[in-house]
Amino acid sequence: MLLCHRLHILAVILGWALLPIQCLTIPPPQQARGLLHRRDDRAPDPIDPKIFDAILHYATYAGTYLSAPCKQPPLGAAVVAFTQNDTTATQQTIFRHSDDREVVLAFPGTANPTDIGTDLNFPHTPHPACDGCNVHQGVYEGWLSVAGQTMAQVKTAMQETPDFKFIIIGHRLVRTDSLTIGGGGSLGGGLANLAYVDMQRAGMKVDLVVSFGELAVGNQQYADHVDKIAGASDDNIGMFWRVTHSNDGVPLLPPNALTSIIGQDFIQHRTEFWAQDGPDGETANASTTFRCYGQMSQACNTGQGGIGINPAHVFYPYTVFNQT
């Protein structure tokens, strides 16, 4: 069956709207049912305390600004460059921390109506990373709007300090006295994902990627490609850490219940680190944060029944930031 021109599909997820879909073929039911993620539902393991500490450290960069450039860099870091595309509202900031010997590229998340339009523009578009790779059109267009300038800025920053590590961070987190508040929609995580893949394709050095509440960026082939280049498997955590919280619904967007109907699956990549809240509602900590297996484990965030931009997405649990 073919859906053409101005047919509108009602998205049943909070924050999704009526979206025009152009000429999409609906697969037969057995094919739609075959659009399943590769998951491993074994019980997650306790997180390595060193990894938990690193997540806290990099979350500090994710929590520093609402718009580029950052006016209060964290931990004594300095802003060395920033980019903002006014048409797509896509932005990033590049930090250098001399004591930590790191250059950090940070993408904020959804923060304005243009960003919301980017999030909603989810039909597949091809990505040259691999045969069959398809990605979220809106996020990809957002990344491409700043890609050239961003990659040039990163190259310059790393040439000045070639022995520093290069880290990519995605999401917007805002520090309060008691907890961390995340912005609606995890556009920053998706931008970090696409930046990593294109930088890897360009032969650029990337030491680690950390995303918080990242939406699903691409299809099964793309998720498998990300796992491959990141060295992520059930035996190795790799160099791309996808942090989720409780029943945050945003990592399940775009909703496969909708996209499978039109034959466009969105699958998350490894490696997931899932933060639960404590049994009495206390903030998640190292003892309640776990290393998950598979790409979208039902034993972790995927199986918690979260829908859209819910409290678990708005309130990420890390509280030990030391911002200035």
Structural domain includes residue 321: no
Structural domain includes residue 35: yes
* CATH number of the domain that residue 54 is part of: 3.40.50.1820
299 phi/psi in degrees, rounded to 5: -80, -10
Q: Are 52 and 241 in contact (CB under 8 A)?
A: no
Q: Tell me, rounded to whole angstroms, the distance of Cα 79 from its chain centroid.
A: 22
Structural domain includes residue 103: yes
Structural domain includes residue 322: no
| Model pLDDT, residue 40 | 65
Structural domain includes residue 194: yes
| Model pLDDT, residue 207 | 98
Number of domains comprising the chain: 1
What is this structure's pTM?
0.83
Structural domain includes residue 20: yes
Task: Work out the angle between the directed axes of helices 113-120 and 187-201 (0-180°, nearest 10).
Answer: 60
pLDDT, one tens digit for every residue, the chain (324 residues) = 333 322 233 333 334 333 333 333 333 333 333 344 555 678 999 999 999 999 989 988 876 666 667 888 888 999 999 999 989 888 899 999 999 999 999 998 665 555 565 666 678 999 999 999 999 999 999 999 999 999 999 999 999 999 999 999 987 544 433 344 444 447 889 999 999 999 999 999 999 999 999 999 999 999 999 999 999 999 999 999 999 999 999 899 888 766 667 778 899 999 999 998 766 666 778 889 999 999 999 999 999 999 888 888 877 765 333 332
3-state class (DSSP) for residue 156: helix
| Model pLDDT, residue 260 | 67
Amino acid at 12: V
Structural domain includes residue 39: yes
For 210, the domain range is 2-316
| Model pLDDT, residue 312 | 84
Query: Which tokens is 59 given?
Result: 């979350």
CA dihedral 317, 320, 321, 324 (to 10 degrees): 140
Q: How far is CA 3 from CA 23, 48, 123, 137, in A?
A: 5, 48, 13, 19
Structural domain includes residue 188: yes
Neighbouring residues of 204: CB distance < 8 A, sequence distance ≥ 6:
151, 154, 155, 158, 166
